[in-house]
Amino acid sequence: MEKTVVYLIRHSEATPKINLKYIVNHDSAQIENEKNFLSVSGEKRAEELSKCTEMKNIDAVYSSSYVRALETAKYIALENNTIINVDERLNERKIGDMGDMEWKEFARLQTKKHDFKLVGGESLNQTKKRMVEAMKNILMFESGNRIAVISHATAITCLLSSWCEYGLNYDDQIILTYNEKTIVDGNYTAPQVFKITFDGMNVLDVECLDIIKSNE
């Protein structure tokens, strides 16, 4: 069977993050998060990414429904003369109502207890489940193709944990390794690209590619 190559991409640099804690209604916070768009430098980096060698001859582009993901995907789609397939299962993990909880404590609880979630939010296990389902569908329809999939840091981490060894650093940030290679070291650039090679549904290799430099 011909190998399938998936470029799993964290969106390019977005505008400054909103403080979700101070939006009273968590539904409003979710909408604000979904609408967050690319910064000027984020647009430039997304365009640069689309012109890199690895992004040539992409057969299909899939994206979450969030604005910053779609704005990243548009450059790759235009460069390869293809459409963007929007799949909400590729969306970022829903945070929910933080109430008086500090972000650091929320993140710590989620990384240590993968079923932990807030009211109106998702656990890491729930996020992983839908991301895995989305990837299986993509592989089924795109067998043998080169595919760009644009998503978000936490959602991507959840998916990569299906194939990588999971651990935490001293700051309780997630560390993922594959065949002794560091794939995620607790921090993401924007954009960030992971190259995953499949034989059918089986993973042959996972790489973290150093394509676009970012200070984020």
What does the pLDDT profile of the chain (216 residues) look like in tens digits? Answer: 689 999 999 999 999 765 555 444 666 678 778 889 999 999 999 999 999 999 999 999 999 999 999 999 999 999 999 999 999 999 999 999 988 899 899 999 999 999 999 999 999 999 999 999 999 999 999 999 999 999 999 999 999 999 999 999 988 899 999 999 999 998 899 999 999 999 999 999 999 998 875 433
pTM above 0.95, yes or no: no
Closest CA to 135 of 176, 175, 194, 87: 87
Give the residue among 215, 191, 195, 201 at the shortest CA–CA distance from 48. Answer: 191
**What pLDDT does residue 213 have?**
55
Give me the pLDDT at residue 74, please.
98
Residues 6+ apart with CB under 8 A from 114: 123, 124, 125, 128
Class of domain 4-209: alpha beta
Domain definitions of the chain by residue range: 4-209
Angle between helices 40-50 and 67-79 (to 10 degrees): 30
Q: Tokens in use for 52?
A: 């890199």
